[in-house]
Structure 1
């Protein structure tokens, strides 16, 4: 096995200078966390002429932001819901299977709010492309679309795709079973939904490119500078002080984007509304023309709750991710074994290939599997991007920055905040309930596939 991730071995953007905060700082806004959420907030703020300091506990891009699959998929991550009653349209669901997680926004918000959120997500997707071009971020954009493949017959239908296109203004395309299997040589899949507007990129290069852009616009980023306390300022001046082990930042606003490893509490209800799970990614050896004869050019997600996702990398390797679980899998060999089993379920013809990389990460999500934004007295908390972070972090960064820079005159953030508020997730037994939830769906899938006739 090689270094921790494939993306670290293929890094082209330069790392930051590893500068820690050792003297007192003063800023309009202190952003805690230099991942996708924190850097998008910071970049949007400096573009609006705000003075920004970013504090990162470790190094930029070391967590899920620089270790994900790099698939920029349209819309949001969403808990799989039965489509019936969503907009008064009924679809026969075989085996009680629910479909296409990210296409469905909470039932009571399917009206104008839902369409507004979807249009904002589309604008955020375009903003990623614009920034990559404008800032010359060397992250290897691949505009090959994205394909959602159904593991169950009769779930993704042409009527469903047409309905979504009519209501959201999307340009999704329905793929029949024959069209899917002509390109993806697997009997595991049935019909599919193709999104031509999605794309993929090198996540670590992208995150470091955002950090470089923040610094070039005047933001100060301090790595290995863990925020250990947020307190009110007892001295005249800016109202908040964010403390690190060796210094502090005085500021007017604090934006907390860290989901875990926080030693203080700002909003107990918000923090206890977050659940976590672990997911893993492996990357194969270079496979040359062989992989393109088996898998098509489009990145893939399937429609199971504990889904798999994969794409062909530029050097003909196959990146394969999945294994959502409540507890970490500590053995590297077990990670590989389980990921291989998942891959071979769909592509048994890849049994002889070697694995060069495997790594994992911890994701945060709320009850609705939608981004969470909360604000109280100038302290913002933004989280819940697990499993679908590239577009929502861009969107939320813009919403928070516009609200702060306008002194709260811009209230667009409230549409998202009020639509999807923090909900109780079983604290202090959240991990246990997450385990039961995931295991129930994994067992359901196991028995469905065991007794379902594959054709």
Structure 2
């Protein structure tokens, strides 16, 4: 079964609040016949659209092939949080690669965040960008770790946009009985993710990019040039960028062995009206310290957008709302029975180390994926880094690809059951409060 079609109808956006609250661009044509390009990008999410935009601005002829619609995948379904740094925090990076490279990766993460904000400003993208993301802890040890991390960012990295929150201040922002404290990062932000993707698509096409939708790539022939085949056509290109994340499948087996697709789920409640302050007293986003992270924020029309729960097979659960309601009502018991107007799922890519996997698959084929829940900034930035690498500026791309990314144990046959076993253990630890 192909993940592209396991839970979705060809060319149709999921019934999400995101799709209901922002107008989609007019459909692009499907590829028919042969097209030649300097660069062919596979995938029209943040990575692919950012790469295409930056390459077009550099004067390249760029074609984008998308199996469904622009912004169809995780780029149009995620929690909309634009986080600081990398998905792995600086404590983890320092242990993995040492202080010097950890600093370089922090700087690239901040560059990613700045890139998103500048793209929104430069191209007048109306995606409800707002500052502020809080990280919350449900145990004393989690809170202590977050306070220590805030001190590390303040003192060692000179990042003064983050502050530690004790229990009282934390609950003044997010009045959940589950949270005992945390930190608030006002340099981070949140936005409407699908509206951002649509804005990137409009900017890319305005720069001269040709986008083909409903054009699934089922074959990639290496060479100089490379050839990409769809059902009704083919693209011959000097360079190829693979920007498929969890949907990459067989186009690059060495990448697929290192990037695991998993499913995550979000609901949008009915508008909460005067009760919205009982969820968030400030218009910031929240992510908690559980291994299977809960994340949430208020929409611009006063709904709670709450993400929680994961699955590791092809199919989404039959009742997504029920799946997400369990963690939502743990965090906010007073919302028990609240009406859910929208519920949707999405497929993202994770890696063993939770660090994105950037790779040069062949001399003229580049790939970026595995953002592990940190994709709003990192995916957008990865697209720019690959565009720069094609233009001969490889420092950022090489820094991001320098962290070794092991393949998942068992390859394609065993990685899913092994991942389920590991994830189930960590989820149990969450429930028991370890």
Assess same fold via TM > 0.5: yes
300-309 vs 46-55, which moves further: 46-55
Query: How many angstroms does 1:263 deviate by?
Result: 6.1
Query: How many angstroms does 1:178 deviate by?
Result: 1.4
Measure, in 1, the Cα distance between the counterparts of 2:43 and 2:121.
Answer: 25
Which residue is 1:430 aligned to?
Answer: 415
Contact 2:246–2:348 (Cα < 8 Å) also in 1: no
Query: How many angstroms does 1:417 deviate by?
Result: 0.8
1:323 aligns with 2:305: no
Measure, in 2, the Cα distance between the counterparts of 1:42 and 1:397.
Answer: 8
Which residue is 1:310 aligned to?
Answer: 296
Measure, in 2, the Cα distance between the counterparts of 1:439 and 1:104.
Answer: 23
Flag the 1:113–1:287 CA change in 2: closer, same or farther, 3 A. same
Query: How many angstroms does 1:262 deviate by?
Result: 4.7
Post-superposition Cα deviations, 1:382-409, rounded to whole Å, max 9, x if no partner, equal 1101311011112211211111012xx5
Flag the 1:56–1:195 CA change in 2: closer, same or farther, 3 A. same
Query: How many angstroms does 1:24 deviate by?
Result: 1.5
Measure, in 2, the Cα distance between the counterparts of 1:362 and 1:202.
Answer: 18
Q: Structure 1: which 5+ runs fail to align?
A: 79-100, 450-455
SS at match of 1:368: coil
Which of 201, 215, 220 is residue 211 of structure 1 equivalent to?
201
Measure, in 2, the Cα distance between the counterparts of 1:265 and 1:287.
Answer: 45
Which residue is 1:187 aligned to?
Answer: 177
Post-superposition Cα deviations, 1:334-353, rounded to whole Å, max 9, x if no partner, equal x2223222111121111141
Which residue is 1:141 aligned to?
Answer: 129
Query: How many angstroms does 1:425 deviate by?
Result: 3.6
1:61 aligns with 2:76: no
Q: Could you say what the CA RMSD is over the residues aligned between the two structures, in angstroms?
A: 2.0
Which of 149, 157, 169 is residue 168 of structure 1 equivalent to?
157
1:346 aligns with 2:331: yes
Contact 2:218–2:251 (Cα < 8 Å) also in 1: no
Aligned residues: 416
Which residue is 2:120 aligned to?
Answer: 132
Measure, in 2, the Cα distance between the counterparts of 1:313 and 1:102.
Answer: 30
Contact 2:85–2:109 (Cα < 8 Å) also in 1: yes
Which residue is 2:95 aligned to?
Answer: 107
Measure, in 1, the Cα distance between the counterparts of 2:279 and 2:197.
Answer: 31
- Structure with greater helix share of residues: 2
Post-superposition Cα deviations, 1:79-98, rounded to whole Å, max 9, x if no partner, equal xxxxxxxxxxxxxxxxxxxx
Which residue is 2:244 aligned to?
Answer: 258
Measure, in 1, the Cα distance between the counterparts of 2:248 and 2:335.
Answer: 42
Contact 1:230–1:264 (Cα < 8 Å) also in 2: no
Measure, in 2, the Cα distance between the counterparts of 1:280 and 1:341.
Answer: 12
Which of 117, 121, 138 is residue 151 of structure 1 equivalent to?
138
Measure, in 1, the Cα distance between the counterparts of 2:22 and 2:80.
Answer: 13
TM-score (normalizing by structure 1): 0.87
Report the structure number with the largest CA radius of gyration.
Answer: 1
Q: Which runs of 4+ in 1 moved over 6 A?
A: none
Query: How many angstroms does 1:330 deviate by?
Result: 4.1
Q: Structure 2: which 5+ runs fail to align?
A: 1-12
Measure, in 2, the Cα distance between the counterparts of 1:26 and 1:337.
Answer: 48
Flag the 1:200–1:251 CA change in 2: closer, same or farther, 3 A. same
Which of 379, 387, 409 is residue 373 of structure 2 equivalent to?
387
